[in-house]
């Protein structure tokens, strides 16, 4: 192999594997030096250099003596060893390039095509690399077949030997966030900010938003004309209900908004800073709405606010007060108004969401939990 052939091979590997040209030179030099050392019985002092312009190869020993090298002089066995060593280093370089690329894309939305199943994992072709969607990261009830297109977010990237393993998720709350970033230009432009998303995958999501422009209706913009924008997200999530609420720095207001569609009055919310909880009094006809099917509504509202919320009717509250003489709600009421001290929920990369077992019907009209 002459110098021109060496350069053509290096350019081909550089273009096809998307590996830096200098990295290909170094990999070939390292592989050739290893083969020559074994062939001639020399130590680590021997190195091989390839001219970046001519492709000519030379050897240098510990005394600094250079001599031209011809791969034909290595013999068949040594040449085969050099080829294997070169391919191994190229695979390692390719792995490093893919790792650096996808490590910076953790939390981003990706499109892929379902390839096959490996045990409980769904293997998705992402183009340059394959992604893995585990059973825990798939929404309960969703089914896929080979060649189906799929959207998911990257939650973890790690090296496994000579491969890069990319873990995907369709249960993470950030999937909803990324879908709305695609559908709502105001979010992409930074006019509307998604403050927090909590989710029970396949059933219900609550998303709190706020705007930096008072002229923009943040909820109406996310819902879209006749529900077009929110419908696109619901369709991608296969019917999962989405409640869009207005974010507030006031804890009481945030709890009131988070418990919609139940009608809550601010003076019936009693937060307790010491226990990081709040008692909410509701009318009997609003109790089931506030709690939700199997406790789903109040559970998501608690996660959205970062405070434990307890729903009580006035009869339950005053009945408890009569038996015990005092309640946490009355104690909290004496403390006066509370400011928001919500904890950041644990729904962040690389965590995955949780599932529930009771679906709820969804319409764009009732998906906007707080009308503009």
Here the CATH number for the domain that contains residue 61 is 3.30.1480.10
* Residues 258 and 314 grouped into a single domain: yes
Residue 191: inside a domain, yes or no?
Answer: no
* Residues 82 and 122 grouped into a single domain: no
Peptide bond into 324 cis (omega under 30): no
Please tell me the predicted confidence (pLDDT) of residue 356: 34
Integer Cα distance of 155 and 103 in angstroms: 9
* Residues 75 and 159 grouped into a single domain: no
* Residues 84 and 125 grouped into a single domain: no
Please tell me the predicted confidence (pLDDT) of residue 16: 83
Residue 132: inside a domain, yes or no?
Answer: yes
Residue 237: inside a domain, yes or no?
Answer: no
* Residues 18 and 76 grouped into a single domain: yes
Residue that is last in its domain, among 97, 118, 144: 97
Residue 366: inside a domain, yes or no?
Answer: no
- Digits of tens for pLDDT over the chain (372 positions)? 677 888 888 888 888 888 888 888 888 888 888 887 777 666 666 788 888 888 888 877 766 555 666 666 667 777 788 888 888 888 888 888 889 889 989 999 999 999 999 988 999 999 888 999 999 999 988 889 899 999 999 999 998 877 889 999 999 999 999 999 999 999 999 999 999 999 999 999 999 999 999 899 999 999 999 999 999 999 999 999 999 999 999 999 999 999 999 999 999 999 999 999 999 999 989 999 999 998 999 999 999 999 999 999 888 877 755 544 444 444 444 444 444 455 555 555 543 333 333 333 333 334 444 433
* Residues 80 and 10 grouped into a single domain: yes
Are 155 and 106 spatial neighbours (Cβ–Cβ below 8 Å)? yes
139 Cα distance to chain centroid: 15
Q: Which strands, in side-by-side order, build the sheet including 57-60?
A: 47-50, 57-60, 66-68
* Residues 65 and 25 grouped into a single domain: yes
Tokens of 40: 């001639």
Residue 215: inside a domain, yes or no?
Answer: no
* Residues 258 and 318 grouped into a single domain: yes
* Residues 9 and 81 grouped into a single domain: yes
Residue 153: inside a domain, yes or no?
Answer: yes
**CA nearest to 292, candidates 232, 372, 366, 342:** 366
What is the span of the domain harbouring residue 260?
250-339
Please tell me the predicted confidence (pLDDT) of residue 125: 94
Mapping DSSP to helix (H, G, I), strand (E, B) and coil, where does residue 164 land?
Answer: strand
Phi, psi for 157 (deg, rounded to 5) = -130, 125
* Residues 18 and 90 grouped into a single domain: yes
Residue 146 belongs to a domain with what CATH number? 2.40.50.140
Residue that is last in its domain, among 54, 73, 97: 97
List all residues 6 or more positions away from 207 whose beta carbon is below 8 Å from its beta carbon: 176, 177, 180, 194, 196, 197, 222, 242, 243, 244, 245
Mapping DSSP to helix (H, G, I), strand (E, B) and coil, where does residue 210 land?
Answer: strand
**CA nearest to 348, candidates 153, 160, 217:** 153
* Residues 91 and 128 grouped into a single domain: no
* Residues 140 and 59 grouped into a single domain: no
How many structural domains are present in the chain?
3
Between the alpha carbon of residue 349 and those of residues 107, 172, 194, 204, 304, the distances in Å are 6, 8, 16, 20, 17
Residue 255: inside a domain, yes or no?
Answer: yes
Residue 295 belongs to a domain with what CATH number? 3.30.300.20
**No. of helices (H) and no. of strands (E), the chain:** 13, 14
Residue 232: inside a domain, yes or no?
Answer: no
Integer Cα distance of 164 and 92 in angstroms: 10
Are 330 and 324 spatial neighbours (Cβ–Cβ below 8 Å)? no
The one-character DSSP state at 319 is H
For helices 284-291 and 296-305, give the axis angle rounded to 10 degrees.
70
Are 354 and 346 spatial neighbours (Cβ–Cβ below 8 Å)? no
Sequence-ordered alpha helix ranges (H) in the chain: 3-17, 21-40, 76-103, 174-183, 185-188, 218-223, 228-236, 251-258, 284-291, 296-305, 314-324, 328-334, 364-367
Please tell me the predicted confidence (pLDDT) of residue 367: 40
């Amino acid at each position: 192999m002459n110098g021109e052939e060496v350069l053509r091979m290096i350019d081909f590997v550089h273009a096809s594997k998307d590996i830096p040209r200098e990295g290909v030179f170094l990999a070939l030099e390292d592989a050739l030096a290893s083969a020559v050392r074994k062939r001639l019985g020399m130590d680590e002092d021997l190195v091989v250099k390839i001219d970046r312009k001519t492709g000519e190869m030379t050897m240098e020993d510990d005394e600094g003596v250079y001599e031209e090298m011809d791969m034909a002089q290595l013999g068949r066995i040594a040449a085969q060893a050099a080829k294997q060593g070169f391919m191994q280093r190229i695979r390692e370089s390719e792995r490093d390039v893919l790792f650096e690329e996808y490590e910076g894309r953790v939390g981003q939305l990706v499109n892929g095509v379902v390839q096959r199943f490996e045990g409980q994992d769904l293997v998705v072709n992402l183009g340059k690399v394959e992604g893995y969607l585990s059973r825990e990261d798939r929404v309960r009830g969703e089914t896929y077949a080979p060649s189906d297109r799929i959207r998911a977010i990257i939650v973890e990237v790690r090296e496994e030997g000579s491969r890069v393993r990319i873990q995907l998720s369709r249960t993470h709350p950030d999937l909803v966030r990324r879908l709305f970033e695609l559908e709502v230009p105001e979010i992409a432009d930074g006019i509307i900010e998604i403050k927090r998303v909590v989710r029970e995958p396949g059933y219900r999501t609550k998303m709190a938003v706020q705007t930096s422009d008072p002229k923009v209706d943040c909820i109406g913009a996310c819902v879209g004309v006749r529900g077009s924008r929110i419908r696109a997200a619901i369709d991608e999530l296969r019917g999962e209900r989405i409640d869009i609420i207005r974010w507030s720095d006031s804890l009481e207001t945030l709890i009131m908004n988070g418990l919609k569609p139940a009608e809550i009055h601010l003076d019936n919310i009693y937060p307790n800073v010491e226990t990081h909880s709040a008692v909410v009094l509701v009318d009997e006809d609003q109790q089931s709405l506030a709690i939700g099917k199997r406790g789903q509504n109040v559970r998501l509202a608690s996660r959205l606010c970062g405070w434990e919320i307890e729903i009580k009717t006035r009869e339950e509250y005053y009945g408890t007060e009569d038996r015990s003489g005092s309640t946490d709600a009355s104690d909290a009421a004496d403390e006066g108004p509370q400011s928001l001290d919500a904890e950041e929920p644990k729904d962040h990369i690389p965590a995955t969401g949780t599932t529930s077992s009771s679906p709820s019907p969804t319409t764009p009209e009732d998906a906007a939990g707080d009308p503009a």
